[in-house]
Structure 1
Amino acid sequence: MIFVPVLLCLVLSACLPLLVRPLLVRLGIMDVPNERSSHERPILRGLGLAVLIAMTVSGVVAVIALAVTSPDIERWWVLLLIVVTGTFAAGLLGLAEDLRGLSVGVRSACLLLIALAVPVALLLAMRAFPDPFAAGPLNGITVDRGGALPDFIAVPLPFWVTIALVPYAVLFISSYINVANFMDGLNGISGFHGVIAGLTFAAAGFCSGLPWLVLAGLILAAGFAGFLPWNLSKPGAFLGDVGSYLLGGATAITSFAALLAGVPILATIGPMVIYFGDVGVTLVKRVRAGFKWDEPHKEHVYQRVQQLGYSHVAASSMTALCTLAASLLGLASFYVAPIWWIALLGGGLLVLGVYLALPRLLARGRGHI
């Protein structure tokens, strides 16, 4: 059941560009180099449309498969449906930006609407269908580890906590969609991020006994894995806003849904630490230097690494390796007592610190001042 929609997503993501690419060429959707660009010639963009179609179709198949094969008492498919729908809405907003362009006000309003609708829908689903979260002690889902380690129990957050988290979710989801868009500036960087984030969520779903989360994570990973060859091979093509919004939406929505379902918070945010850190620190530095935060620039850490002479793939791989390290530290929270989570958090912040210092460290290694 799990691998049919995942394989479908991978095949569609890899093959659909054959149909989407001519359409984008006909529409003339090109990425022309500007102050923010790390490429020197116009490149076709908008190929994220293929990923959007692949993830949506396979997501719907996964929802149907989960609904048909799960017992009536288990309503996991409802959560997966909300994740798929919210992800589709984020990608659709990015597609509108690619095709027609949107004013800042309209784009911001749509982002906030998506970021509000998703947590409210998740809250209502968990309120209306408590049964899937009552399969074990403490009203949670018990994962038997065979005696080698204590059993893990995924206990959903109390209803009053989920209500209090709605404002946080609005800021969290809308911000990360923008963050993913800011970070989509090198070949490979978004594809690598989607694969790592997806596999991390799938592992979290496996560790917590949540099949809907396994499916959501694997579909995310498969969608962006299928795009990578098109991005990395000549003549190349970019995701466009449709792809970066899709990536940000899928990652943030899946992360928040997993948090509500009882996944340890460090496991839900591990894949996002590097991206949030890069964008946050860069924007603060620019504002303190007197620049407008929304002005185009090439001062993100990954861009400064590439400017030292490293290839797009090399710079993107460094970012991906740091994201992988932070993700693994987050997943480690399944296997240690919560009292040790502060140490894992410290490890994640250390990884972020190393990442932020990469331009200086690499410049010294190459003899730059």
Structure 2
Amino acid sequence: MTWGVVAIAGVLGLATPLLVRPLLRRYGVADDPNERSSHRERTLRGGGVAPLLAIGVGYLLVLALGNTAAVGTVLLLAGAAVAAGLLGLAEDVRGLPVMVRASLQLVIGIGAAAGLCIAFGQQWWAAALGALLIAAYINIANFMDGLNGISGLHGLLSGMVYGALGAFSGSAWLTATGIVVAVAFASFLPWNLTRPGLFLGDVGSYVLGASLASLAVASAMSGISLVTALAPLAIYLADTLVTLARRAARGEPVLRPHRTHAYQRLTDTGLSHVQASLTVSVFSLGAAIVGVLIPLAGLNQWAGAAVIVAIAVVYLLLPRLRGSRLPRKPQTALVDIDRPAAIAPRVDFYPKRWIVLGASGFVGSAVADHLVAAGHDVVRLTAPRLALMPETAANPISVERALNSDDFDALVRAFEGSDVVINAAGRATPDSPADADLYGANALLPAFVARAASSAGVARAIHLSSAAVQGRRSTLDESLDTSPFSPYSHSKALGERLFLSFGSPDGETDHVVIRATSVQGPGRATTESFRHIARSFVASVAAPGNQPTVVSSIDGLVDFVTRVGGSSGPLGPIMLQPWEGHSAYDVLSAAGGSPRILPRWICTMVLVVVRGLGRVIPEVAGAGRRLELMWLGQDQRSEYTLEFPAMPNHVLVGILSNREDAS
């Protein structure tokens, strides 16, 4: 290797942003700040094209200038870096589905690790571990790329360490490739650290992760101690893995953006971006030096590993030592209430004025349109935007305090003179994290509606909830028993109890909770998604296939809600949307699919695994629940089947088959 390669890689790294910035600005490739960001201004991203080009060209020049003994190794390293960079570029410019992105990252890892395994004559289990490390570290580098300078310094220092390891071990290819990586990222630092700033983007963080992980795998497979090979990556690995494990243990969504990495918490203690990045780099360099001492000074490998772990522990404790405290774990408690008594009949009850809260949503608009078509006086009301911290959501005192607001007073005035209020507002996002907006919309708003309806003298208040509150129960019913399995279902279950407990104690206002099942309708995204699944290879049901399904029609729900709202007969405090008579097999077939019937024991085993993953990765819980409903369905039992019969079977069939004459 000559200094010419270093110079060319450096020039490319420095000059490329001059050409790239106008293109990024033209196509709007930029990051906007949000509550989880460490930056405060809109900043262009995608500057990682510079180190991508510098590494790609630099590696080729390394080969051209005489490292022919390791052609295969350098080509594999170049291939992994370039492929990961192009994948990141596609994510920056167009965006990719998570599964596609993760699958391609694993393919890159498998290709590089398998090739290196062959090149160095290692066992195939080493290739499997190497593939996982490369795919994982691509993501880890992306997770850690949240401060100005942090990734550039990581690439610079780690590249130099691998270059030094190559010199000590006599591996010229490792020296050359390590220095190329170091120069490529060092040359990006001026662009990242000076105004107006430029972010690596996914293209740059993917290149960084693939380059360093591939160098670590190649180093280990060439005979360098595994501890030494991984030492430069130790702090990044510790920060990410401990953060993910902690979030999983706390029941937090591990795959969603957050600000609880150690490096992020360091900035919360008053350190600037550069100071926090330098802190991370100092600890990384310390771990790397310990790793280098193993071959250089004969340090015992296990002793070296223990010291590196100690360095990582001190790093992880540093935010706490500087005063950073994590937010309290979200609570999953529910308000403890007695089941309200059944609602007595209202003789000669003919409601004239109806209010539909949330009438711009899918269900609310359908209910309002149906009432208008029936000749009723309907007021479409926009729900107030409320917030309730998940940590205090189950505390009645916190809810009571929230009622002392202008929003509540405005709601009372809006309800005055109406006969029936229907709350169809809320956050219908099953995969939503536990945040103040979710609990404000799904838990606090029902309490507002219940108390406001009583204060305004409304005859009947109806709150639309979800059967999801009962979770995996074999039979859905109309009891207070709930088994929420996600922040969404917990917020809905809490909303039911707050609605029933915050109404009028004198009982002059009827308070009815209606639990909707899996409602489908024309134009709804979930219905289109259901059709895609039904017509795909995954469409299947557990034997025997005739188990009842919770899939239902918007027509059925609207009919049920409006009949309950205008009923003069007895009602329950909780009422379940009537089952429309279809099986799990029926609805997939109606949506155009040809579902396979799978052995029930196979489905049960898969669901056990998915539920286990869901406890660690909350995002999996929602997908697992949807899979369970597709395979096993769920029975439904209502005490009011005779008084409120379900819609005819053909209505749901028409919706799922996309026929215009569905109703």
TM-score, normalised relative to structure 2:
0.48
What is the CA–CA distance in structure 2 between the aligned matches of 1:121 and 1:235, rounded to whole Å?
41
What is the CA–CA distance in structure 1 between the aligned matches of 2:123 and 2:195, rounded to whole Å?
47
Alpha-carbon offset, residue 32 of structure 1: 1.1
Match in the other structure for 1:122: 116
Match in the other structure for 1:166: 127
Matches within 5 A, 1:47-126: 47-67=47-67, 75-126=69-120
Residue of 306, 313, 326 corresponding to 1:346: 306
Match in the other structure for 2:169: 208
Structure 2 counterpart of 1:162, which letter?
Q
Larger fraction in helix:
1
What is the CA–CA distance in structure 2 between the aligned matches of 1:167 and 1:123, rounded to whole Å?
9
Structure 1 residue 254 corresponds to structure 2 residue 215: yes
What is the CA–CA distance in structure 1 between the aligned matches of 2:112 and 2:131, rounded to whole Å?
9
Change (3 A) 1:4 1:77: farther
Q: Is the 8 A contact 2:191 2:198 kept in 1?
A: yes
Matches within 5 A, 1:218-297: 218-297=179-258
Larger fraction in strand:
2
Match in the other structure for 1:142: none
Match in the other structure for 2:11: 11
Alpha-carbon offset, residue 220 of structure 1: 0.5
Structure 1 residue 363 corresponds to structure 2 residue 323: yes
Alpha-carbon offset, residue 292 of structure 1: 1.1
Structure 1 counterpart of 2:258, which letter?
H
Change (3 A) 1:170 1:35: farther
Match in the other structure for 2:278: 317
Alpha-carbon offset, residue 56 of structure 1: 0.7
CA deviations on 1:46-79 (whole Å, 9 max, x unpaired) are 0001111111111111111124xx5xxxx22221
Structure 1 residue 328 corresponds to structure 2 residue 322: no
What is the CA–CA distance in structure 2 between the aligned matches of 1:50 and 1:26, rounded to whole Å?
18
Structure 1 counterpart of 2:112, which letter?
V
Match in the other structure for 2:620: none
What is the CA–CA distance in structure 1 between the aligned matches of 2:135 and 2:34, rounded to whole Å?
25
CA deviations on 1:3-41 (whole Å, 9 max, x unpaired) are 221221111101111111111111110111234311112
Matches within 5 A, 1:140-155: none
Alpha-carbon offset, residue 263 of structure 1: 1.5
Greater relative CO (CA pairs within 8 A, separation 6+): 1
Alpha-carbon offset, residue 361 of structure 1: 1.7
CA deviations on 1:169-226 (whole Å, 9 max, x unpaired) are 1211111110000000000000000001100000000000000000110000000000
What is the CA–CA distance in structure 2 between the aligned matches of 1:79 and 1:214, rounded to whole Å?
13
What is the CA–CA distance in structure 2 between the aligned matches of 1:335 and 1:312, rounded to whole Å?
34
Structure 1 residue 177 corresponds to structure 2 residue 138: yes
What is the CA–CA distance in structure 1 between the aligned matches of 2:179 and 2:148, rounded to whole Å?
22
Structure 2 runs not aligned, ≥5 long: 325-663
Look up the SS of the partner of 1:363 in the other structure.
coil
Structure 2 counterpart of 1:233, which letter?
T
Q: Is the 8 A contact 1:33 1:41 kept in 2?
A: yes
Q: Is the 8 A contact 2:5 2:62 kept in 1?
A: yes
What is the CA–CA distance in structure 2 between the aligned matches of 1:280 and 1:120, rounded to whole Å?
25
List structure 1 runs of 4+ shifted beyond 2 angstroms: 123-126, 335-338
- Of stretches 244-253 and 1-10 in structure 1, the one that deviates more from structure 2 is 1-10
Match in the other structure for 2:260: 299
Match in the other structure for 1:23: 23
Alpha-carbon offset, residue 166 of structure 1: 1.5
Q: Is the 8 A contact 1:199 1:221 kept in 2?
A: yes
What is the CA–CA distance in structure 2 between the aligned matches of 1:179 and 1:247, rounded to whole Å?
10
Alpha-carbon offset, residue 289 of structure 1: 1.0
- Of stretches 282-291 and 317-326 in structure 1, the one that deviates more from structure 2 is 282-291
